[in-house]
């Protein structure tokens, strides 16, 4: 069972989240970050569905902001960080 699934955006790779994944693992969570970089949309969707289906219930999933949504970073006016538990 995977506790946390990290889904990166189109401009990132799983390695961009190594620090986050390491921190979560150090707290006893299992983490998976499938490599979606360069995959066609149908293939990336199938891979994400496979990873999510294999996990009994992931505690959170996320993605990087798109270039057009940079103004919506956590802590920016008008944004509310959300915690999934």
DSSP state of 59: S
What local confidence, expressed as pLDDT, does residue 35 receive?
Answer: 92
Q: Is the pTM of this model over 0.75?
A: no
Q: Output the pLDDT for position 76.
A: 43
Q: Looking at residue 56, what is its pLDDT? A: 74
Contact 16, 9 (CB under 8 A): no
The rounded Cα 83 to chain-centroid distance in angstroms is 14
Residue of higher predicted confidence among 84 and 13 = 13
The whole-number pLDDT of residue 62 equals: 57
Could you tell me which of 3, 32, 27 has the C-alpha nearest to residue 17? Answer: 32
Tens-digit pLDDT profile for residues 21-79: 999 999 998 999 999 988 898 998 899 889 888 887 766 555 555 444 444 444 444 44
- Token digits of residue 75: 């802590």
Output the CA–CA distances (angstroms, integers) from residue 29 to 32, 51, 57, 62, in the order listed: 10, 16, 12, 16
């Amino acid at each position: 069972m995977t506790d946390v699934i990290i889904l990166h955006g189109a401009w990132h790779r799983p390695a961009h989240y190594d620090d986050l994944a390491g921190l979560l693992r150090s707290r006893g969570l299992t983490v998976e970050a499938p490599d979606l970089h360069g995959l066609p949309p149908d293939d990336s969707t199938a891979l994400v569905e496979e990873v999510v289906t294999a996990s009994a219930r992931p505690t959170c999933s996320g993605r990087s902001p798109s270039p057009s949504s940079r103004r919506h970073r956590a802590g920016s006016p008008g944004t509310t960080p959300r915690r999934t538990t």
